Chain A
Amino acid sequence: GENVEQHPSTLSVQEGDSAVIKCTYSDSASNYFPWYKQELGKGPQLIIDIRSNVGEKKDQRIAVTLNKTAKHFSLHITETQPEDSAVYFCAASSNNNDMRFGAGTRLTVKP
């Protein structure tokens, strides 16, 4: 089955700096890679996703990149703000919709 590894487990940045979270996956059949943000006391919320037929996708300050050959994908947050502080999860799934999550990254943005 799919195995998703996520790094780093914690990340602290200064407001305005960029943050990068990286994930690797094991199953070459995986074709859908979403990212979730979990704020304190809430459920994970989908913030951006990418499919295996594209290499990059951007939505305002958030971008995701995918390297299918290396089985890597990354989340990039630019101009970070204190409200970006949360736990971020990457995930990977194939057409069977069996989604596997990374272990999470706790991002802290210091004002």
Chain B
Amino acid sequence: DTAVSQTPKYLVTQMGNDKSIKCEQNLGHDTMYWYKQDSKKFLKIMFSYNNKELIINETVPNRFSPKSPDKAHLNLHINSLELGDSAVYFCASSSLVAGANYGYTFGSGTRLTVV
């Protein structure tokens, strides 16, 4: 199946731990994103990578570090987890074709709970 796959789906961890979320897309897209969705459902962009190059880096604590080993993968590593990091994290991908945007394809989300 062509899709954006992210793992794990659920992640429960203690404050202060370090954790990673992985994302892979097999759609041939050249751009990948991480979004954070809070309890009020607001979708906030965190990072965007185009062909392994960071192009968007919103005001996110430097405890969050994205890594893109190739254009099909974008992982998110979080150090020293805090209670406020609890949220659903979505990976997405898209393509720019002839300068025109196309819609994002989202993964199914990772629900992170910090206790």
Interface centre among B41, B56, B92, B100 (most CB of A within 10 A): B41
Q: Does B27 contact A (CB under 8 A)?
A: no
In the bound complex, how far is the Cα of B104 from the Cα of A20, in angstroms? 23
CB nearest to A35 among chain B residues: B103
Do A97 and B96 form a contact, CB below 8 Å, given A32-B101, A42-B109?
Answer: yes
* B108 adjacent to chain A (CB < 8 Å): yes
CA distance A49 to B48 in the complex (A): 21
| Smallest CB gap from B109: residue in A | A43
- Count, chain B residues at interface, CB 8 A: 25
The reply to whether B101 and A99 form a contact with Cβ atoms under 8 Å apart is: yes
**B113 in the interface (beta carbon within 8 A):** no
Interface residues on chain A, size class: 20 to 34
Given the complex, which residues of A lie within 8 Å of B104, measured CB to CB?
Answer: 34, 36, 44, 46, 99
In angstroms, Cα B81 to Cα A30, docked, is 36
In the bound assembly, the distance between CA atoms of A101 and B58 in angstroms comes to 14
Chain A's nearest CB lies how many Å from the CB of B79? 25
Among B41, B102, B108, contact of A42 (Cβ-Cβ < 8 Å): B108
User: Contact: A98 with B48, CB < 8 Å?
Assistant: yes
Instruction: Give the chain B neighbours of A103 by CB distance below 8 A.
Output: 40-42
**Is the beta-carbon distance between A97 and B94 smaller than 8 angstroms?**
yes
The yes or no answer to B107 lying at the interface (CB within 8 A) is: yes
Residues of A within 8 A of B40 (CB): 103
Q: Which of the residues A41, A45, A97, A100 comes within 8 Å of B101, measured between beta carbons? A: A97
> Chain B, 29-69, contact with A by CB distance < 8 Å: what is the 0/1 string?
00100000000111101001010000010000000000000
State the B residues within 8 Å of A (CB): 4, 31, 40-43, 45, 48, 50, 56, 90, 92, 94, 96, 99-109
5 closest Cβ pairs, A-B complex? A43-B106, A46-B103, A32-B101, A101-B43, A34-B103
